[in-house]
Structures are given as structure tokens and as C-alpha cells.
Amino acid sequence: MTMGLAIEKIYLAKVIAAKTSGSISMIGSGLIIRDVILRWHRRKENQFLPIAQRIILSMSIADLFNSCFVHFLGTWMVPKGDITISDEKYPIPLAAGNETTCHIQAFIWDLFTIAGCSSNATLATAYWLMVCKEKKENELKQWKWQFPLVCLPWILGLVDSFLYVI
């Protein structure tokens, strides 16, 4: 087996591993989203989800789309062509996209990665507010807390994604 063929097989294995882990992540995120929504529909006394569940729902939605478009679809959205490693060219495994699909994937990757990571930070902030600052759930339902804890991660993701487009 030549060195080039071995490298191609390694890259193919990495692509398949990314698609497999992306599939597992999509299943996990989908189950979390389903669980949060079912709990929301079972609530009788209050129409609002607790702040932590809202943030977890937001984080799971971001992870679902990130896993789908970046890990699962991955190289399928990348233009056909070669990758250069140590002055040798190797085909990109399973590449089937074009420039447009590549740009769409970059936009989506930026949006959902920033939203997911920021949601993780806001979840930690929400727990800190509840545990250390003893904020009650009713207080955290106010718009002044909802905006930074639930909406801001998505705004940051959109701003960063549009900066890529511009």
C-alpha cells in the first residue's frame, strides 16, 4: 500500500467517524428537544418553561443543526477537489458540493456553534444567578433576564455569521 493510499483511507475513516458522531449527536439533541417540549405541554399551572429548560432547549436546537450541517453533511457540502498535504494532493473524501453549499455550511456552522457555546455560558450564568444570587424563577422570567440569557446567544451567532458573509 502506498503512502498516498494510506492517507486517503485515514481521511475517509475520519469523515465516516464525523458522520457517525454527528448522527449520534443529532439523536441525543432530538431526544432532549422532545423531552423539554413534552414537559412544557404537561405543565398546567404555568405556560412558561423554567429558564434552565429554555436555555437547554436553545442549546439542543443549536447542537442539532450544527451536528446535521457540519458533522453529518460535512464533506458532502464541500466542493469536489483536492487537499494538499506536504506538497501532495489528495481527493477530499465524499466531497459532492459546490462553492454555494460550502458558503452556506460556513454560515450555518458559525451561527449554530456560536449560539450553542453561548447558550452553554448563559446556562452557567442562569444557575449562578439562581444558586449564588438566589434569584427566583419568577424574577428570571422578566424580559431583562430573558433577553441576555435566551436571545443573546442567537443574536451573537447571527452577527458573527453575517460578518462572514459581508
What are the DSSP calls for 83-143, one per residue?
EEETTEEEEPTT--B-HHHHHHHHHHHHHHHHHHHHHHHHHHHHHHHHHTS---HHHHTSH
Task: Label residue 86 by pLDDT band (50, 70, 90).
Answer: low
The DSSP output letter for 50 is P
For 79: left if phi > 0, alpha if psi spans -120 to 50, otherwise beta; the answer is beta
Residue 55: HSE in the Cβ half-sphere, 13 Å Cα cutoff: 24
| Cell matching residue 89 | 494532493
| Cell matching residue 130 | 439562581
Q: What percent of the chain has pLDDT over 70?
A: 95
Task: Label residue 4 by pLDDT band (50, 70, 90).
Answer: low
pLDDT in tens, 104-125: 999 999 999 999 999 999 999 9
Provide the pLDDT for residue 91.
Answer: 82
Q: Is 81 helix (H, G, I), strand (E, B) or coil?
A: coil
